[in-house]
Amino acid sequence: MLTSFQAPILQREPKNLYGRNRVKVYPPAKINIYLNIIGEYSNGFHKIESIINRINLFDEITIERAGGSSINFSCNNKSLDNDNNLCVKALRFLRRRFELGGLKIHLNKGIPIGAGLGGGSSDAAYTLLGVDKLLGLGLSKRELFNIGSHLGSDVNFFIARSSWAYIGRKGEDVEPLDIDAKLKYLLVYPNISTSTKLVYEGAGLNLTKFLDNVNILKYALRKRDYLLVEELSFNCLEKSALCIYKGLESVRTLFRRGGFFCRLSGSGSTFFTILGFPPYKRINIDILVNKFREKGFFVFAAQTY
């Protein structure tokens, strides 16, 4: 377990708090162990397949009943303090069906923005879950999935509340996986916020469907064969992200020079490596962490949640 650095993010397993007039929920982050584009829809959206792992990095959302009928949204990050936030968009979908009354929502960001960690999608999912609980709407998982499919590619993964899942289509198809592997990761966020749209546009299509690779990867995770997990880990967006955002290359280079496997999560910009296997020497990890921190990068440890 790393002790030489601390992440300024809540990393303990939090308990969602539900009251009569107020709820507090903790949206978690994710990483993509595997991500591939296998087709394209007529509307320009990409058909993907991905294996996702939920990790113990969290945002915090407080939702309270308020007078009147308006939604008052605020965030500790001013760039998100607007009506385009996915939390507000999630509530707009609910308002099409329900009279919600007045609500006051505050989002405390801990998950880096534009990092490929699914923070925005998780916030949307947990806003839906929190309001459903607070107001007693009684939404079924199918109804929540239907709303989630209109909000973002990872929203339904977080609604499913599964540690591991296989994701299909545009991301709305979620197959929870019976995997009990608890992986530990070192993650590096180089303070670059990437555009999902731009990175996907630059990726193109991979016409080869790595179906066997995905199934073998599931098997490797179930058997805890982490060398095979590293071998089969894949992200078809990595090349595009590196081409568009030149600053990402230094992260990958430092990982590789230290002899570490690394992979980009989602559309970036966070890179991760798996800790504990192979048994990297502690001193090598500390040296690597110090090099990243010297560059001003955000370095933190996380594990399967």
Q: List residues with catalytic annotation.
A: 30, 154
Q: Which amino acid is at 85?
A: N
What is the distance between the alpha carbons of residues 89 and 94, in angstroms, rounded to a whole number?
9
DSSP label of 76: S
* Residues 6 or more apart whose Cβ sits within 8 Å of residue 67: 102
The answer to whether 56 and 305 are in contact (CB under 8 A) is yes
The answer to whether 127 and 61 are in contact (CB under 8 A) is yes
What is the distance between the alpha carbons of residues 27 and 259, in angstroms, rounded to a whole number?
33
Closest CA to 46 of 155, 153, 160, 154: 153
Closest CA to 168 of 42, 41, 305: 41
**C-alpha torsion sign, points 90, 91, 93, 97:** positive
Per DSSP (E only), the strands in 148-219 are 164-168, 173-176, 184-189
Bridge-based pairing state of the strands 28-40 and 46-58: antiparallel
* Residues 6 or more apart whose Cβ sits within 8 Å of residue 113: 77, 79, 80, 119, 120, 193
Neighbouring CB atoms inside 10 A of 223's CB total: 12
What are the tokens at 272? 């991760």
